[in-house]
Amino acid sequence: MMARFLRVSPSVLFPAGAATGLVGLVLLVLESTRALTGNVLGSIGEALLWVGAGLIVVGGVLLLLAVVRSADVASPDVRSSDGGQPAHG
């Protein structure tokens, strides 16, 4: 399963992370506003609050993976350019 995830390009991870984080932020803000204005959160409201917080974390992880993966793509491994041969000196 991990090998399949590694094939995902950074260009896919960035929008996925941003969208996930944005949805989580909207849920968190809506449910926090409801709670702070005096409305009693039911079990669904509390679940949405936690789902929002979780989506923010998942979105952040996806964004972090996108940055790390794009850095790996931008700077290829030095050994790959010389075929792993020792330096002549």
Which tens digits make up the pLDDT trace of 41-51?
788 888 888 89
**CA distance from start to end of the chain:** 43
68 Ramachandran zone, left/alpha/beta (phi>0; psi -120 to 50): alpha
- Interval 57-69: pLDDT, tens: 999 888 888 888 7
52, 3 in Cβ contact below 8 A? no
42 within domain boundaries: yes
User: Three-class SS of residue 82?
Assistant: helix
> Which structural domain, as residue segments, surrounds residue 53?
16-72
Evaluate whether residue 81 is within a structural domain. Answer: no
Domain assignment of residue 82, yes or no? no
